[in-house]
Amino acid sequence: MSAAKRPAKAIDRRRFLQDASRGVAGCALAGMGLGWLATSTARALPAQALRPPGALAEDDFLAACIRCGLCVRDCPYDTLSLAELGVDAPATGTPYFTARDVPCEMCDDIPCVVACPTGALDHGLDRIDDARMGVAVLIDEERCLNALGLRCDVCYRVCPVIDEAITLEQSHNARSGHHAIFMPTVHADKCTGCGKCEKSCVLPGASAIKVLPHRIALAEAAEHYKLGWKENNPLVDELIDLPDRLPGPGTDNLVAPGGYEPAFKLPGGPGQ
Amino acid sequence: MKLKTKSPIGAEAIEAKGWIGAHRFLILRRISQAFFLSLFLIGPWFGLWWVKGNLSGSLTLGILPLTDPFIALQSLVAGHWPEMTALIGALIVGVTYALIGGRVYCSWVCPINPVTDAAHWLHDKLNMPKGWQPKANTRYYMLAMVLAVSAATGTIAWEFVNPISMLHRGLIFGVGFAWAFVLGVFVMDFVLARRGWCGHLCPVGAFYGLLGRGSVLRITADKRAACDDCMDCFAVCPEMHVITPALRGGDDDTPLILSPDCTNCGRCIDVCSVDVFHFTHRFDKTPSPGRVRTPSNSASGADKAA
């Protein structure tokens, strides 16, 4: 009497095809919605939300992070939290921190990376100075006290990679005419993005120096420009290297010994 | 109300076994659900960090890693090869549920189960219509869809909407607006579709069901000859189609409930006043004669009488 024992009829096949196509269609529709959500949430990672040290690039991160929160639990400074839905934060349940609230203290043993069971935080990161959570950018030069010519220096002093990630670059203070400006200057190749500078900026409210994700903070190097002071190779290998017109023997510079008389002289030129 | 005697569902079982006896597995299940939730909550609430993390991934007593194998699978198809810790964790969870029945997760651990059970209780109390009833195998299409979207977008796709993680993580780490997903499931099961979520759509349940296809722990209708057709087991079973082959089978059919959809919740055992059902293992070969068929007890006869 069970359905399985009945011989299959044509009507069963039709029924099956109808049910199957209905199921496929419904789920395809749901899948499109889910796919849209998965890609749009990934794009919507807000600029002030920083990933923990060693986090893979955002695209890879969302394939790897299972949102278990073990990194959050093992952070001794309660820096990290899991994003909550609807709060201005990255994909629900993924770990992040906001530097102005609690920065990363850059523990030597990097407990958050050790805790990660999936490698969404790359276990290859063994020196915290190699972490690249973001890049500090002195974003408001109109209000930064140092930029105004005062000596605040707090962001520079608190930097765990002081004199490498942030230096104070001296320049002339044109306003007073006889003082110096000590400009906090970030060097992206050394900055870990820990956010201690952003946290300690003395300005009320938002910080003048902010840690931004690399994708926002950094431009791409222009491959089609050659930096002549770094690379001597000409763009085209066969280019003829003409002699530079330096004063000296064999040139039309009469001042230098061995110089010769030019074939013609410009009116009002030298020697008249 | 049931069809035959017009008495409330489970009334005979309560009469025969007492209220506790007729709700044994329900009580145990609620205790189990509360136990697994509280394991995760005593850390953040009382600072006792026996278990860290959540159902997606956890670390117990600093040594035992556990990972949701369905999430690990999505991660794999999304193109990430997880660290060994997560793989071992997924293996431990996977093997455990493969042995005790994949959907034991659904009825004994999953925090959404009390939500949908509550929705069903209310649905029943208010005599709501069945509503939208997609095929029970729609969940497998959902499962395939989730894996396809994970592969296409390179993300662990279901975790963007999974009401289980939304609720569980929300309780442990802070909920934000994630309660909306939980409310959505409740409203759906209450108003739109009876047993709609867990019984028809949830891809997590589908995954665990497939995982536990060969599970050792099974329920048997070994005393099916004693069945008096009260239909209470069908009324309480969240996946009622799983009962029929075992209970209504003939002498040669196995009395074991082997469908991967069975959640091993044990409500059928509770609610049967003549103790037809028992927990056993899948290799149980105890002979179990089918019911002696008389005009009054055949299934079709009962249907017509109703």
Question: Residue B86 is nearest to which of A42, A67, A117, comparing CB atoms?
Answer: A117
* Minimum distance, in Å, between the CA of residue B239 and any CA atom of chain A: 17
Tell me whether strands A135-138 and A179-186 are parallel, antiparallel or unpaired.
unpaired
Residue A169, domain CATH:
3.30.70
User: Between chains, do B53 and A65 touch, taking CB under 8 Å as contact?
Assistant: no
Asked if the structure places residue A248 within a domain, the reply is no
User: Between chains, do B153 and A92 touch, taking CB under 8 Å as contact?
Assistant: no
Please tell me whether residues A128 and A138 are part of one structural domain: no
Domain boundary among A177, A195, A218: A218
Mean pLDDT for A113-136 is: 95
Question: Residue B165 is nearest to which of A60, A86, A93, comparing CB atoms?
Answer: A93
User: Between chains, do A60 and B49 touch, taking CB under 8 Å as contact?
Assistant: no
Instruction: Return residues 36-75 of A near B (CB < 8 Å).
Output: 37-39, 41-42, 59-60, 62-70, 72-74
Q: Is B114 exposed, middle or buried (0-12, 13-18, 19+ CB in 10 A)?
A: middle
Instruction: Tell me which residue range forms the domain holding A182.
Output: 134-218
* Chain A with chain B: Cβ pairs closer than 8 A: 175
Instruction: Return residues 76-135 of A near B (CB < 8 Å).
Output: 81-87, 91-93, 115-120, 123
Nearest chain B residue to A90, by CA: B160
Tell me whether strands B57-60 and B64-67 are parallel, antiparallel or unpaired.
antiparallel
Domain boundary among A203, A218, A233: A218
> A185: which strand partners?
A167
Nearest chain A residue to B64, by CA: A117
Contacts of B154 in chain A (CB under 8 A): 59-60, 62-63
User: Between chains, do B82 and A85 touch, taking CB under 8 Å as contact?
Assistant: no
Alpha carbon distance B267, B239 (integer Å): 11
pLDDT at residue B303, rounded to an integer: 46
Contacts of A85 in chain B (CB under 8 A): 166, 175-178, 180-181
pLDDT at residue B148, rounded to an integer: 96
Please, are residues B217 and B279 in contact by the beta-carbon 8 Å criterion? yes
Q: Is B306 exposed, middle or buried (0-12, 13-18, 19+ CB in 10 A)?
A: exposed
Question: Residue A117 is nearest to which of B89, B154, B180, comparing CB atoms?
Answer: B89
**DSSP H or E run through A172:** strand A166-173
SS3 at position B66: strand
The DSSP 8-state label assigned to residue A8 in this structure reads P
SS3 at position A182: strand
Q: Which one of B66, B76, B149 makes the best mutation probe of the A interface by having the most chain A beta carbons within 10 Å?
A: B149
Please, are residues B212 and B101 in contact by the beta-carbon 8 Å criterion? yes
Alpha carbon distance A88, B238 (integer Å): 39
Name the more confident of A180 and A260.
A180
Please, are residues A211 and A50 in contact by the beta-carbon 8 Å criterion? yes
Kindly provide the ipTM of the predicted complex, given to two decimals: 0.88
Contacts of A87 in chain B (CB under 8 A): 176-177
pLDDT at residue A238, rounded to an integer: 67
pLDDT at residue A1, rounded to an integer: 44
Confidence (pTM): 0.85
Domain boundary among A133, A159, A175: A133
The DSSP 8-state label assigned to residue A65 in this structure reads -
Mean pLDDT, chain A, rounded, equals 86
Contacts of A38 in chain B (CB under 8 A): 149, 153, 155, 157, 160
Asked if the structure places residue A265 within a domain, the reply is no
* Residue B77 neighbours by CB under 8 Å, 6+ apart: B147, B150, B151
User: Between chains, do B154 and A65 touch, taking CB under 8 Å as contact?
Assistant: no
At residue B81, what are phi and psi to the nearest 5 degrees?
A: -95, 110
Candidate from A5-9, A153-157, A174-178, B257-261 with smallest mean pLDDT: A5-9
CA torsion angle A74 A75 A80 A81 (round to 10):
30
pLDDT per position as a tens digit, A2-17: 445 555 566 788 888 8
User: Between chains, do B178 and A24 touch, taking CB under 8 Å as contact?
Assistant: no
Asked if the structure places residue A18 within a domain, the reply is no
* Residue A160 neighbours by CB under 8 Å, 6+ apart: A106, A129, A192, A194, A196
pLDDT at residue B111, rounded to an integer: 96
Structural domain count, chain A: 2
Please tell me whether residues A122 and A147 are part of one structural domain: no
Burial A124-155 (b: 16+ CB within 10 A, else e): eeeebeebbbbbbbbbeeeebbbbebeebebb
User: Between chains, do A82 and B138 touch, taking CB under 8 Å as contact?
Assistant: no
**Mind listing the pLDDT tens digit of every residue in chain B (306 residues)?**
455 556 788 888 999 999 999 999 999 999 999 999 999 999 999 999 999 999 999 999 999 999 999 999 999 999 999 999 999 999 999 999 999 999 999 999 999 999 999 999 999 999 989 888 888 889 999 999 999 999 999 999 999 999 999 999 999 998 888 899 999 999 999 999 999 999 999 999 999 999 999 999 999 999 999 998 889 999 999 998 999 999 988 888 899 999 999 999 999 999 999 999 999 999 988 888 888 766 555 544 444 433
pLDDT per position as a tens digit, A47-104: 889 999 999 998 899 999 999 999 999 999 999 999 988 776 788 899 999 999 999 9
Asked if the structure places residue A84 within a domain, the reply is yes
Q: Tokens 């369905």 — which residue?
A: B70
Q: Tokens 């994003």 — which residue?
A: A83
**DSSP H or E run through B220:** strand B217-220
Please tell me whether residues A128 and A182 are part of one structural domain: no
Query: To the nearest whole percent, how much of chain A has pLDDT over 90?
Result: 59
pLDDT at residue B1, rounded to an integer: 47
pLDDT at residue A225, rounded to an integer: 78
Q: Which one of A80, A118, A121 makes the best mutation probe of the B interface by having the most chain B beta carbons within 10 Å?
A: A118
Please tell me whether residues A116 and A194 are part of one structural domain: no
Burial B224-255 (b: 16+ CB within 10 A, else e): beebebbbbbbbbbbbbebbbbbbbbeeebbb
User: Between chains, do B165 and A67 touch, taking CB under 8 Å as contact?
Assistant: yes
Within A174-250, strands assigned E span: 179-186, 209-212
Please tell me whether residues A124 and A200 are part of one structural domain: no
